[in-house]
Amino acid sequence: MTNKNILKRTVALLLCFCMLSGTLVSCGSKSSDSDSASKAESDSTVESTKGDDIDIDAYIASLDPGLDPENDADAVPIEGEDDMSRASFAGDGNSSLTQFTRISPYRSSPRNHKIDTITIHCMAGQLSVETCGDVFSKSGAMASSNYGVDKDGRIGLYVEEKDRSWCSANSANDNRAVTIEVASDRYAPFAVSDAAYKSTIKLVADICKRNGIEKLVWSNDKNERVNHLNGANMTVHRDFDKNKPCPGDYLYSRMGDIAEKVNAILDKEKK
């Protein structure tokens, strides 16, 4: 292995994102140990303050970059558009359901593939959309998502839909997917609030409608998901890193329900 490849491999081990709360480690773990997943699942030993009262620096230090090291070793953050003032920004090619906008420098612009996939993540922390935005804009975070949904069901925009987020540790996926981080408990099964769940469904339906995704299809077969077979157009972070529990079993077990509810909205609006 060349030094560069060793570096890439090392970075690969850091991947996965899924945020955190408190000093939390997200759905990811920086450990390369074989038990890293179980450690992440049971990371309740990590001391954390409640809710939004987090130490962002500690959070960032524990955050895994959302890049695919095999393809993104040269990805460079785009500075200069951390713009909280453009309130109307969200309406321009993005969801009008957005209630908070803070564009992250950790993105690739523009995405290189048409949007045809939805990837829902868990934050592994009950972060507000504002704190999530802070995290994604903080120096060294090297991670982002297109949207975030907090426990109150509020929606944040961090990477415009036209751009690729650094979220799922897979360049190809994030180039075609809209990624959504949903506030969750920071311990397994990473449950989310009813408000967050309902808001996520509304957001996904809106994304599908505007991007011409007529039907959302979940498959319990990973091969179908990652290869987009039989119409499958939902992926999960764990598809791309088996050591990561993201999106957590709570959301993972409900992906079919999410698809069903989104499709009901889409069908209703077609009539």
CB of 121 to Zn ion, least distance (A): 3
CB of 201 to Zn ion, least distance (A): 18
CB of 83 to Zn ion, least distance (A): 25
Q: Which is nearer to Zn ion, 70 or 81 (by Cβ)? A: 70
CB of 235 to Zn ion, least distance (A): 11
* Window contacting Zn ion (CB under 5 A); options: 27-35, 209-217, 219-227, 259-267: 27-35
Q: Total number of residues binding Zn ion (CB under 5 A)?
A: 5
Which bin fits 92, alpha (ψ -120 to 50), beta or left (φ > 0)?
beta
Q: Which is nearer to Zn ion, 237 or 261 (by Cβ)? A: 237
- CB-based contacts of 203-208 (< 8 A; 24+ apart in sequence): 203/95, 203/97, 203/147, 203/149, 203/155, 204/118, 204/120, 204/180, 204/258, 204/262, 205/262, 205/265, 205/266, 206/95, 206/96, 206/97, 207/95, 207/115, 207/118, 207/161, 207/178, 208/118, 208/262, 208/266
3-state secondary structure of 126: coil
Instruction: Check residue 121 for interaction with Zn ion (CB under 5 A).
Output: yes
CB of 260 to Zn ion, least distance (A): 22
Of 244-263, binders to Zn ion (CB under 5 A) are 246
Instruction: Check residue 27 for interaction with Zn ion (CB under 5 A).
Output: yes
Among 11, 12, 14, 18, binds Zn ion (CB under 5 A): 18
Name residues whose C-beta falls within 8 Å of residue 252's C-beta, 6 or more positions apart in sequence: 236, 238
Which residues contribute to the site for Zn ion (CB under 5 A)? 18, 27, 121, 237, 246
